Amino acid sequence: MTPALIDDTTLYAVLAPFAAAVVAPVLTRWFKHNAAWPLAIVPGLIFLHFTGFIGPVSHGETFVAAKAWAPSYGVNFSVYVDGLSTLFALLISGIGTFIILYAGGYLKGHPQQGRFFSFLFLFMGSMLGLVLGNNLISLFIFWELTSITSFLLIGFDNLRAASRRAALQALVVTGGGGLALLAGFILIISATGEIEMSVLLGSPDIIKDTGLYLPIFLLVLGGAFTKSAQFPFHFWLPNAMEAPTPVSAYLHSATMVKAGVYLLMRMHPLLGETALWTTVLPLFGGVTLIVGTLLAVRQTDLKLMLAYTTVASLGLLVMLVGTSHEKALEGAVLYLLAHSLFKGCLFMVAGTIDHEAGTRDITRLGGLRSAMPITFAAACLASLSMAGLPPFIGFVAKEVLYYGTWGWLELGLAVTVTAVIGNALMLVIAAAVAIKPFFGPKVETPKHAHEGPVLLFAGPVFLSVTGLGLALIAHTTGELFVGPTLSSLVGEFKQIDLHLWPTKINAPLILSLITIGLGVALFTQLDRLRSLVGAVLAAIGWGPDKGFDQFVCGIVGFSGWLTRKLQNGKMQTYMMLIFIFTAVAVLLPGFMTGSLPAWPKLPDYRFYEWGILFIAVLGLIAVLIAKTRLTAIVSLGIQGFAVALIFMMFGAPDLSFTQFMVETLSVVILALVMTRLNLSPSDHRPAPAAFLTGVVAVAVGLGLTLTLLAITQQPFDSRLSDFFAQYSRAIAHGRNIVNVIIVDFRGFDTLGEIAVVVLTGLCVLALIRVRTKPDKDGGMSDPGPSQPQKVEAS
Amino acid sequence: MRTIIFRTIAPYLSALMVLFSVFVLLRGHNEPGGGFIGGLIAASALAIYGIACGVASVRRAIVFHPMGVSGFGLFMAALAGMLSFFKDQAFMTSQWLIFHVSDVEVALSTPLVFDIGVYLVVVGAIGSIALALEEREAD
């Protein structure tokens, strides 16, 4: 079904958060933390806008809207609204509303609160642009923007080294993946000729038919796996918990890390259902699920426990999407919805506990249920959903996903076992998060714990109640949200029938009971399990996090080594390197392609022409045998003047004129430089060094000569000279073609060149002004590299 | 270097060279010459004057710091290119104003302004390098 064109309101809805980001600091200056209330209206309105799509989308309709951005490259700012993007847009704007409120309470009185709001809004807009993105290039730009805003948010507390490291790590990992994704997108565009996602989705086999499926698959996976923290790229996500809690709740559980899963879901009709897809994705997803839950068990910090379970949940989602099995995909959609609700809520709960009690270490917390009853209630509801117990959306999700994995023929058993173990461990964490801080005897905390303000508990309460409500109206949930999203995943319209309570005793129900039993059993042994995992990790002693440090250190070390080698501060080394590379560059192509010029026949010169050539050679010989450096410089001038004369005789007066001036000034300036540097009057280098210089000089000279000969032996293409000769007078009103080219036809080149001249002048001036004298023969640069360049340009 | 003959002749020589450089600059569009060559001649004039009579007197004579002259030249060249914006044409589209004073045709154009910019850039940059080097020689 072809998407219907809609008006630009949806485009403005995507851009609205960017506008909010601009006004946020001002509002925060006026209303302090209460600015959260007016600011939350923005995502609230966006949410309302997207609720308008729920009805049509559930009937299988899709919509597009577009504005030209860079039309010559086919880049549009365009949105594609279908079941999947509507679900994501609703999650982003809905949870975003409460995150803004929560941030108002959490960072109350923080001097940079306005900036924080700004960053959150920037992220919100980027994320909306990503999930609604239709044009691959604009989708990629928003994808990168989420990485950048995530960097800003993780590093918000930029005075702490840990924050800075975590921010940089997240940026390097997700940004690196983003580059892979860009390459993948470009491959898609060049292989299929299409740039709009909606068009690509219209013909699902378009990529599989190109023969470039494998590279595209791997590159897209590179982007998705880094963003969604799949093993072995999972390490950046727990480190990102350095960010303030609203960020963790929003970016690193509910939205941004789901971008990778979103991409896999979005591309599923195009890339899925192949042997490669159903092998690689379940494998990585399954490993991530188990590794994530085990690492979560080991933690005692509430936020870190939740962070690792987020890694695990992302693994579960990737695993389910990897099955390409319709029922498992339905489970993935439900779990995605459930996870966003309960994890966002639990993160905010963890933040509230930290905020009010002063610690979030579960071994130092206890008995908070009477002090923080509302937060406790929210935590209970969310944890029950996370544990997969009825009557919560988490339970419904688990039932469906077990149904799917159990019914998947290829690797169903392995995937099911992985899912059961993962879910059991997830239940352990859910129980630990809900029970440890709130039950048991009251433990003395760093701050006197009490219930937080409404700004802090509004979000958790609403999200956890939604998790309950959506389960109670399971049928409607399935009809309005899960069905349309599933339709996007499988590429055809699907309607599903969802129930909260299982209608009969079947495999999923039994698997659920096993999960609960296993989970409860493991929870009673939590401390033992924790020390066991700790011991195993200590035995391994290496992880990707450490590997990242080694990688970064390696790169820094290598660049340092290379820089010290190449830029050792000695002028001779620089000049030598430059000339060696010049020699290679001019000599190598001729020898490699066998296009060396033929031996030129002796030209028929008049005697005075021979005379001038003789003077030039004489000047050169004088340079070589000169006793002192000053004599050598002047002799070089003789050679230069001879060349200028040659220019003059062969009809290039401008060139000759310039050459005269450049030679004169070069000799003057070199002589002045000579007197300033305390050089000995003559050259005292040992013979081998002088010989090496000679070899390089001859090589460069030979190379340039051969190149010039080869060029002049080609037939002369007179199109340019004809053009200039014809139009110089006619349209540029000048008879001097050289000058007309410089100031008019190619004036833009000249503008660049004179900018270089100015900069060179400034640099040389700065160099001369350096009072501390550099060592004897280093530190002085050629006074005007742009002059010979100019001569060539003429 | 600072013989009495050189010191006596240098001011006249420099003045002539500067005059000649302006001549070369202005004839450039139709005859050999132009801003670049003119700038080099003028820079040589400054260098000669500096060697003969000291850098201080050169600096007094040209009033502005040569690097400032250079920067102004760049600014002027860029600005000349922007005049075409007023006619809604692309950057650096040349604009011509041709009128007649009795029998002589006078052509004013943005390429001319641009060329003067080039001239100033070259005089300023090369001149300031030369002067800076001579100055250090003196101290």
Q: How far is CA A719 from CA A708, A731, A749, A792, in A?
A: 20, 17, 20, 19
pLDDT tens-digit map of A503-544: 777 888 888 889 999 999 988 888 888 888 888 888 888 888
The DSSP H or E segment spanning A77 is strand A75-81
- Give the residue on A whose Cα is nearest the Cα of B127: A761
- Is A654 in contact with B33 (Cβ distance < 8 A)? yes
- Is B33 in contact with A736 (Cβ distance < 8 A)? yes
What is the predicted pLDDT for the residue at A780?
A: 43
What is the predicted pLDDT for the residue at B136?
A: 63
Question: Can you say whether residue A780 is alpha, beta or left, with left for phi > 0 and alpha for psi between -120 and 50 degrees?
Answer: beta
- One-letter amino acid identity for A778? G
How many whole angstroms separate alpha carbon A286 and alpha carbon A200?
29
- Among B36, B73, B124, whose Cβ lies nearest the Cβ of A790? B36
- Among B28, B35, B130, whose Cβ lies nearest the Cβ of A669? B130
Work out the average pLDDT over A636-642.
Answer: 90
DSSP state of A195: -
- Among A669, A736, A784, whose Cβ lies nearest the Cβ of B32? A736
For the record, the structure tokens of A108 come out as 């109350």
- Is A743 in contact with B111 (Cβ distance < 8 A)? yes
In terms of domains, do A143 and A179 share one?
yes
- Is B109 in contact with A751 (Cβ distance < 8 A)? no
Report DSSP letters for B14-83, one per residue. Answer: HHHHHHHHHHHHHHTTTSS--HHHHHHHHHHHHHHHHHHH-HHHHHHHH-S-HHHHHHHHHHHHHHHHHG
Contacting residues for A583 by C-beta, under 8 A, at least 6 apart: A696, A699, A700, A703
- Give the residue on B whose Cα is nearest the Cα of A662: B40
What is the predicted pLDDT for the residue at A567?
A: 82
Residues A493, A91: contact at Cβ < 8 Å?
no
How many whole angstroms separate alpha carbon A779 and alpha carbon A648?
36
Within A378-516, strands assigned E span: none
What is the predicted pLDDT for the residue at A599?
A: 82
Distance of CA A273 to the CA centre of its chain: 28
Q: Chains A and B: how many Cβ contacts under 8 Å?
A: 148
- Assigned domain for A328 exists: yes
Report the complex ipTM.
Answer: 0.93
Partners of B99 in beta bridges: B106
What is the predicted pLDDT for the residue at B43?
A: 93
How many whole angstroms separate alpha carbon A602 and alpha carbon A595?
21
Contacting residues for A429 by C-beta, under 8 A, at least 6 apart: A293, A296, A297, A305, A306, A308, A309, A386
- Which residues in chain A have Cβ-Cβ distances shorter than 8 Å to B40? 658, 661-662, 665
Work out the average pLDDT over A394-423.
Answer: 86
> Residue A540's domain spans which residues?
530-567
Q: Is the pLDDT of residue A782 over 70?
A: no
Q: How far is CA A188 from CA A183, A205, A218, A322, A490, in A?
A: 9, 12, 12, 21, 20
- Is B70 in contact with A758 (Cβ distance < 8 A)? yes
- Greater confidence (A774 vs A136) lies with A136
- Greater confidence (A771 vs A158) lies with A158
In terms of domains, do A397 and A537 share one?
no
Task: Please report where in the chains the tokens 């959506």 appear, as a residue.
Answer: A470
What is the predicted pLDDT for the residue at A81?
A: 93
- Among B31, B71, B126, whose Cβ lies nearest the Cβ of A665? B126
Average pLDDT, chain A: 88
- Is A661 in contact with B94 (Cβ distance < 8 A)? no
The 3-state DSSP class for residue A748 equals helix
For the record, the structure tokens of A265 come out as 């879901």
- Among B29, B36, B136, whose Cβ lies nearest the Cβ of A768? B136
- Is B47 in contact with A668 (Cβ distance < 8 A)? yes
- Among A676, A748, A758, whose Cβ lies nearest the Cβ of B125? A758
Residues A302, A347: contact at Cβ < 8 Å?
no
B105 Cα to chain A: minimum distance (Å): 12
- Give the residue on A whose Cα is nearest the Cα of B118: A754
- Which residues in chain A have Cβ-Cβ distances shorter than 8 Å to B91? 748
A4-5/A63-70 β-pairing: parallel
Q: Is the pLDDT of residue A201 over 80?
A: yes
DSSP state of A743: I
DSSP state of B91: T
Q: How far is CA A344 from CA A34, A326, A380, A400, A436, in A?
A: 22, 27, 14, 22, 19
- Is B67 in contact with A668 (Cβ distance < 8 A)? no
Residues A741, A536: contact at Cβ < 8 Å?
no
- Is A654 in contact with B37 (Cβ distance < 8 A)? yes
In terms of domains, do A389 and A536 share one?
no
- Greater confidence (A9 vs A596) lies with A9
How many whole angstroms separate alpha carbon A472 and alpha carbon A393?
8
Q: Is the pLDDT of residue A787 over 60?
A: no
How many whole angstroms separate alpha carbon A561 and alpha carbon A477?
60
Task: Please report where in the chains the tokens 């290379």 appear, as a residue.
Answer: A562
B104-109/B96-101 β-pairing: antiparallel
DSSP state of A597: P
How many whole angstroms separate alpha carbon B135 and alpha carbon B139?
7
pLDDT tens-digit map of A27-66: 999 988 889 999 999 999 999 999 999 999 998 889 999 9
- Is B94 in contact with A742 (Cβ distance < 8 A)? no
Work out the average pLDDT over B9-35.
Answer: 90
- Is B133 in contact with A765 (Cβ distance < 8 A)? no
What is the predicted pLDDT for the residue at A606?
A: 85
Partners of A66 in beta bridges: A78
What is the predicted pLDDT for the residue at A794?
A: 35
Q: Is the pLDDT of residue A788 over 60?
A: no
In terms of domains, do A105 and A220 share one?
yes
Contacting residues for A498 by C-beta, under 8 A, at least 6 apart: A334, A396, A400, A474, A475, A477, A478, A479, A482
In terms of domains, do A163 and A76 share one?
yes
**Angle between helices A653-676 and A786-793 in degrees, nearest 10:** 170
- Is B40 in contact with A665 (Cβ distance < 8 A)? yes
Q: Is the pLDDT of residue A744 over 90?
A: no
pLDDT tens-digit map of A643-685: 999 998 888 888 898 898 899 888 888 888 877 777 777 777 8
Task: Please report where in the chains the tokens 């509002």 appear, as a residue.
Answer: A27
- Greater confidence (A123 vs A770) lies with A123
B55 Cα to chain A: minimum distance (Å): 13
Contacting residues for A489 by C-beta, under 8 A, at least 6 apart: A84, A265, A268, A269, A321, A329, A332, A333
B33 Cα to chain A: minimum distance (Å): 6
The stretches of A500-570 forming alpha helices (DSSP H) are 507-524, 526-540, 544-566
- Which residues in chain A have Cβ-Cβ distances shorter than 8 Å to B76? none
In terms of domains, do A559 and A450 share one?
no
- Is B34 in contact with A743 (Cβ distance < 8 A)? yes
In terms of domains, do A501 and A547 share one?
no
- Is B137 in contact with A672 (Cβ distance < 8 A)? yes
Q: A580 exposed, middle or buried (CB, 10 Å; 0-12, 13-18, 19+)?
A: middle
Q: Is the pLDDT of residue A441 over 50?
A: yes
Binding-site residues on chain A for chain B (CB distance < 8 A): 653-654, 657-658, 661-662, 664-665, 668-669, 672-673, 675-676, 732-736, 738-740, 742-744, 747-748, 750-751, 754-755, 757-758, 760-762, 764-765, 768-769, 783-784, 790, 794
In terms of domains, do A547 and A402 share one?
no
B50 Cα to chain A: minimum distance (Å): 12
Nearest CA among B75, B64, B69 for reference residue B113: B75
For residue A497, what pLDDT band results from cuts at 50, 70 and 90?
confident
Q: Is the pLDDT of residue A463 over 80?
A: yes
Work out the average pLDDT over A697-712.
Answer: 91
Q: Is the pLDDT of residue A778 over 50?
A: no
Percent of chain A at pLDDT above 70? 97
Q: Residues A222, A227, A230, CA angle at the centre, nearest 5°?
A: 75
What is the predicted pLDDT for the residue at A781?
A: 41
What number of residues does chain A have?
A: 794
Nearest CA among A117, A102, A126, A120 for reference residue A27: A117
- Assigned domain for A767 exists: no
For the record, the structure tokens of A259 come out as 């971008």
- Which residues in chain B have Cβ-Cβ distances shorter than 8 Å to A657? 32-33, 37
pLDDT tens-digit map of A228-282: 999 889 899 999 988 899 998 898 888 889 999 999 999 999 998 888 999 999 9
Q: Is the pLDDT of residue A774 over 60?
A: no
For the record, the structure tokens of A419 come out as 């899912």
Partners of A80 in beta bridges: A64
- Is B111 in contact with A734 (Cβ distance < 8 A)? yes
- Give the residue on B whose Cα is nearest the Cα of A780: B133
What is the predicted pLDDT for the residue at A214?
A: 93
How many whole angstroms separate alpha carbon B25 and alpha carbon A136?
53
- Which residues in chain A have Cβ-Cβ distances shorter than 8 Å to B98? 733
- Which residues in chain B have Cβ-Cβ distances shorter than 8 Å to A784? 125-126, 129
Work out the average pLDDT over A729-748.
Answer: 86
- Which residues in chain A have Cβ-Cβ distances shorter than 8 Å to B32? 653-654, 657, 736, 738
What is the predicted pLDDT for the residue at A152?
A: 93
In terms of domains, do A430 and A482 share one?
yes
- Is B34 in contact with A669 (Cβ distance < 8 A)? no
In terms of domains, do A66 and A210 share one?
yes
- Is B129 in contact with A784 (Cβ distance < 8 A)? yes
B70 Cα to chain A: minimum distance (Å): 6
- Assigned domain for A441 exists: yes
The 3-state DSSP class for residue B97 equals strand
For residue B25, what pLDDT band results from cuts at 50, 70 and 90?
very high
- Work out the end-to-end distance of chain A between its first and last CA atoms, rounded to an integer number of angstroms: 61
In terms of domains, do A497 and A538 share one?
no
What is the predicted pLDDT for the residue at A189?
A: 93
In terms of domains, do A336 and A322 share one?
yes
Nearest CA among A436, A422, A384 for reference residue A293: A422
- Is A654 in contact with B111 (Cβ distance < 8 A)? no
Nearest CA among B119, B128, B124 for reference residue B21: B119
Domain count for chain A, please give it: 2
pLDDT tens-digit map of A166-190: 999 999 999 999 999 999 999 999 9
- Is B29 in contact with A743 (Cβ distance < 8 A)? yes
What is the predicted pLDDT for the residue at A504?
A: 76
What is the predicted pLDDT for the residue at A784?
A: 39
- Is A676 in contact with B133 (Cβ distance < 8 A)? yes
Q: Give the least confident one: A199-203, A564-568, A613-617.
A: A564-568
Q: Is the pLDDT of residue A319 over 60?
A: yes
- Among A661, A676, A739, whose Cβ lies nearest the Cβ of B28? A739
- Which residues in chain A have Cβ-Cβ distances shorter than 8 Å to B130? 665, 668-669, 672
Give me the sign of the Cα torsion angle A712, A714, A715, A717: negative
- Which residues in chain A have Cβ-Cβ distances shorter than 8 Å to B50? none
B98 Cα to chain A: minimum distance (Å): 10
